[in-house]
Amino acid sequence: MNDGPPLSFSAISAALRTSRMGRQMELLATCPSTNDRAAELARQGAPEGTLVVADAQTGGRGRLGRTWHSPAGANLYLSLLLRPTRPPADVPPLTLLAGAALAGAVAALGGEPRLKWPNDVLLRGPEGWRKTAGILTEMASERDRVRHVVVGIGVNVNLTALPAELSDRATSLRLALGRTIARDALLAELLNLFEPLYDAFDRDGPAVAVRAWRPYAAFGLRCRIDAGDRPAFEAVLRDVDDVGNLIVEDDSGTRTRVLAGDVTVVGTTNPDRP
């Protein structure tokens, strides 16, 4: 069963300490994808910080056309509209920035989240490190100017019934922490932490995102790296550079920089202590 307290517009608003993030909010019972709805609002001229939240999605998306499991009543599915003044090349590290804010909000609940490059939040369960949240950053840009960015975040909050295809890779805050979590308070805390980080990012660039992300990084994890430009290989996650590229070390000790791709945990190694 997936249940927990309902999402409440007034509870979210009351817990916000932001000036822009979430101050315009659309709270929906269901929609195909909050990222698509936020992009539509962006094209209609909605201001930075506009938030779309849904209790369920019928077409929740991951990267590369993958599906994001989005049942009702348990989780958070949200998209934040941003209008950064930075060039398009600086935008991808916003995924790291959002991960850092979410990790901070989860840590405030007593969790010990680890961030797996580029877009996953992991929590430890009895059988290893499992995905609790994923981030999908999408941008509309011209050659040298960003029109808008949508940062989409899906968090398994009170989910307890995992579909078979996710049972070996996913978990939820409730499964990891052993108690029901109020979704509106978690959402507000995420935005409260995100806004000052975002303001610093917009002023100073990707290094801000890397600095915020690093304390939660799942360095030391053994993973399969599929970067698309060479055959997939196994390596240990070692570092990120100052623009947010991943640095991994293979079994021969060779270090490689990964600019984009998929990183899947293999085995049951634990990440280094931060």
> Which residues contact ligand BT5 (rule: CB under 6 A)?
33-35, 57, 60-64, 66-69, 77-79, 119, 131, 134-136, 152-154, 156, 166, 169-170
Residue 63, C-beta contacts closer than 8 angstroms, at least 6 positions apart:
119, 136
For the bound state, the minimum distance from the C-beta of residue 155 to ligand BT5, rounded and expressed in Å, comes to: 8
Ramachandran region, residue 253 (left: φ > 0; alpha: ψ -120 to 50; beta: rest): left
For the bound state, the minimum distance from the C-beta of residue 252 to ligand BT5, rounded and expressed in Å, comes to: 28
Nearer to ligand BT5, 107 or 166 (CB): 166
For the bound state, the minimum distance from the C-beta of residue 203 to ligand BT5, rounded and expressed in Å, comes to: 26
Contact 107, 123 (CB under 8 A): no
Ramachandran region, residue 201 (left: φ > 0; alpha: ψ -120 to 50; beta: rest): alpha
DSSP character at residue 45: T
Nearer to ligand BT5, 133 or 210 (CB): 133
Nearer to ligand BT5, 14 or 161 (CB): 161
Output the residue with the shortest Cβ distance to ligand BT5.
134
CA-CA distance, 253 to 44, in Å (whole number)?
51
For the bound state, the minimum distance from the C-beta of residue 204 to ligand BT5, rounded and expressed in Å, comes to: 26
The encoded tokens of residue 123 equal 């929590």
For the CA atoms of 208, 210, 215, 217, the dihedral, rounded to the nearest 10 degrees, stands at 160
For the bound state, the minimum distance from the C-beta of residue 13 to ligand BT5, rounded and expressed in Å, comes to: 20
Contact 66, 20 (CB under 8 A): no
Nearer to ligand BT5, 19 or 268 (CB): 268
Nearer to ligand BT5, 67 or 270 (CB): 67
For the bound state, the minimum distance from the C-beta of residue 217 to ligand BT5, rounded and expressed in Å, comes to: 16
Nearer to ligand BT5, 40 or 252 (CB): 40
Helix (H, G, I), strand (E, B) or coil at 99: helix
For the bound state, the minimum distance from the C-beta of residue 175 to ligand BT5, rounded and expressed in Å, comes to: 11
C-alpha distances (whole Å) from 63 to each of 14, 102, 137, 169, 262 are: 33, 18, 9, 16, 10
Nearer to ligand BT5, 140 or 145 (CB): 140
